[in-house]
């Protein structure tokens, strides 16, 4: 392992500015090449282009009904120059096939794509912020500002409200924020980029200002048809999740609302996830037709698809202006319930961790 110009003594001094004395390691392992990311462990130091990072825990992602998945290539880290918390995304190549209806996508991770998008969205409040830097092994590491907040999935699943109260008091505020998030994706698309892995847990709700911020841009995919279709499908799934205050699962209706269940047909279900109800007005009749019509674009019975993010934005604007009560500031008041909600379900059947 290369021993860079930083001495162990230097490192101890730097670390002790940010850690209590008992937490400062006696000896640091220093990495300038992170190719073998499993070897980059808690209390190690990573030096990238002169900047020094003290590694903390690996990031985790929630998985439905399973233990959290540890992401050994995504590390929390303290920037020893200024004490800021960062996420270091190390290089991990993966490839797989994914299907949405009849469309087949070849998905793969591209650090370069994520680096390019980070440059594009610098200063845009709808996205995580950061930059990319090469380590000595030629790996393009993404150094990300840590967003203090929790995934949108957890925020919604953690609400302790009945649906009708949620609908009138929270949904307008939630959809206002979601509209901003869709506008952020429109910005990507206008710049010929795609997010690639749009899911409810890839939006972090910033604790400070309540903004929805997109994370995780390294998925890329090849496809034959509308190159933005996959992002739009992801946005639709989040929209249905938000309007339903969680997934409305067919089998749950058998006990919760058998009358609604009896009115459902296959056409009312999600295009891909056939246990999820999309025609939510059959379950919650106070959902306005205009909003429900948006949802139906993502149902098995649909003949029309959204082809552009701008269509989704304009329909959302119309629904917000003409068909929902004006947004309360309930959502802005801050959701104090920090209990972990139910586990989220992975949006992608075959694509994405
Ligand atoms: N900028 C960030 N701020 C805070 N947490 C983040 C940030 N980026 C990633 N994370 C956390 O790390 C997890 C894994 O990162 P992600 O970019 O989704 O990796 P992967 O591409 O392997 O799914 C995320 O689900 C999130 O919990
Ligand atoms: Mg992810």
**Cβ contact 208:147 at 8 Å:** no
Please tell me the distance from the alpha carbon of residue 40 to that of residue 28, in angstroms, as a whole number: 11
Distances (CA, A) of 263 to 179, 267, 275, 277, 282: 30, 11, 15, 12, 7
Average pLDDT over residues 107-135: 97
End-to-end CA separation in angstroms for the chain: 31
Please tell me the distance from the alpha carbon of residue 55 to that of residue 44, in angstroms, as a whole number: 5
Q: Which of 64, 90, 116 is the last residue of a domain?
A: 90
**Cβ contact 316:182 at 8 Å:** yes
Mean pLDDT, the chain, whole residue set:
89
Give the number of other CB atoms < 10 A from CB of residue 58: 18
Q: Which of 68, 90, 112 is the last residue of a domain?
A: 90
Q: Cα of 61 to ligand 2 centre, how many Å? A: 7
**Residue recorded with tokens 């699962």:** 249
Grade residue 212 by pLDDT with cuts at 50, 70 and 90. Answer: very high
Residues near ligand 1 with C-beta < 6 Å? Answer: 59, 61, 71, 74, 87, 89, 128, 144, 146-147, 201, 204, 215-216, 218, 353
What is the span of the domain harbouring residue 304? 149-322
Q: Assess whether 75 and 164 both reside in one domain.
A: no
Q: What is the CATH number for 277? A: 1.10.510.10
What proportion of the chain, given as a percentage, has pLDDT over 90? 76
Q: Provide the pLDDT for residue 188.
A: 97
Grade residue 338 by pLDDT with cuts at 50, 70 and 90. Answer: very low
Residue 199 within a domain: yes
Atom 20 (ligand 1) nearest CA: 216
Of 64, 82, 199, 226, nearest to 145 by C-alpha is 82
Q: Provide the pLDDT for residue 134.
A: 98
What proportion of the chain, given as a percentage, has pLDDT over 70? 89
Q: Cα of 96 to ligand 2 centre, how many Å? A: 15
Please tell me the distance from the alpha carbon of residue 64 to that of residue 344, in angstroms, as a whole number: 5
Residue 178 within a domain: yes
Q: What is the three-state SS of 260-289?
A: HHHHCCHHHEECCCCCEECCHHHCCCCCCH
Q: Assess whether 32 and 167 both reside in one domain.
A: no
Q: Residue 188, CB half-sphere, CA atoms under 13 Å: how many?
A: 27
Q: Assess whether 153 and 301 both reside in one domain.
A: yes
Q: Cα of 154 to ligand 1 centre, how many Å? A: 14
DSSP state, residue 325: P
Please tell me the distance from the alpha carbon of residue 119 to that of residue 132, in angstroms, as a whole number: 9
Grade residue 225 by pLDDT with cuts at 50, 70 and 90. Answer: low
Q: Assess whether 196 and 316 both reside in one domain.
A: yes
Average pLDDT over residues 126-155: 97
Atom 13 (ligand 1) nearest CA: 59
Q: Assess whether 84 and 198 both reside in one domain.
A: no
Q: Assess whether 168 and 48 both reside in one domain.
A: no
**Cβ contact 7:72 at 8 Å:** no
Q: Which of 90, 117, 138 is the last residue of a domain?
A: 90
Residue 85 within a domain: yes
pLDDT tens track for 167-204:
999 999 999 999 999 999 999 999 999 999 999 999 99
Q: Give the chain's domain count.
A: 2
Q: Assess whether 168 and 296 both reside in one domain.
A: yes
Indicate whether 334 pLDDT > 50. no
- Classified as helix, coil or strand, 206 is strand
pTM: 0.90
Q: Assess whether 154 and 231 both reside in one domain.
A: yes
- Helix (H) / strand (E) containing 201: none
- Sheet (strand 103-109) strand order: 95-100, 103-109, 219-222
Atom 22 (ligand 1) nearest CA: 71
Q: Assess whether 31 and 161 both reside in one domain.
A: no
Residue 310 within a domain: yes
Q: Cα of 168 to ligand 2 centre, how many Å? A: 31
Residue 135 within a domain: no
């Amino acid at each position: 392992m290369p021993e860079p110009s930083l001495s162990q003594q230097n490192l101890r001094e730097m670390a002790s500015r940010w850690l209590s004395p008992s937490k400062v390691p006696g000896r640091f392992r220093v990495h300038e090449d992170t190719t073998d990311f499993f070897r980059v462990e808690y209390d190690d130091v990573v030096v990238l282009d002169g900047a020094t990072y003290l590694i903390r825990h690996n990031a985790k992602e929630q998985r439905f009904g399973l233990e959290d998945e540890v992401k050994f290539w995504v590390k929390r880290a303290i920037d020893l120059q200024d004490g800021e918390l960062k996420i270091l995304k190390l290089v991990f190549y993966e490839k797989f096939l994914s299907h949405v209806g009849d469309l087949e996508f070849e998905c793969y991770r591209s650090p370069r794509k994520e680096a390019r998008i980070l440059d594009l969205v610098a200063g845009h409040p709808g996205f995580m912020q950061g930059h990319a830097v090469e380590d000595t092994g030629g790996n393009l590491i993404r150094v990300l500002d840590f967003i203090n907040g929790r995934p949108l999935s957890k925020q919604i699943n953690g609400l302790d409200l009945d649906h009708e109260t949620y609908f009138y008091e929270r949904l307008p505020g939630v959809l206002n924020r979601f509209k901003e998030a869709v506008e952020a994706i429109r910005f990507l698309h206008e710049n010929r980029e795609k997010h690639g892995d749009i899911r409810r847990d890839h939006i972090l709700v910033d604790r400070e200002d309540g903004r929805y911020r997109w994370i995780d841009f390294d998925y890329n995919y090849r496809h034959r048809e509308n190159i933005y279709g996959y992002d739009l499908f992801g946005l639709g799934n989040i929209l249905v999740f938000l309007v339903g205050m969680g997934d409305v699962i067919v089998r749950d209706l058998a006990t919760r609302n058998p009358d609604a269940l009896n009115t459902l047909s296959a056409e009312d279900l999600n295009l891909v996830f056939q246990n999820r109800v999309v025609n939510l007005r059959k379950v919650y009749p106070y959902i306005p037709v205009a909003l429900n019509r948006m949802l139906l674009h993502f149902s098995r019975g649909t003949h029309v698809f959204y082809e552009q993010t701008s269509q989704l934005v304009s329909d959302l604007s119309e629904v917000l202006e003409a068909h929902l009560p004006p947004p309360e500031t309930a959502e802005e008041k801050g959701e104090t319930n920090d209990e972990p909600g139910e586990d989220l379900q992975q949006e992608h059947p075959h694509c994405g961790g």
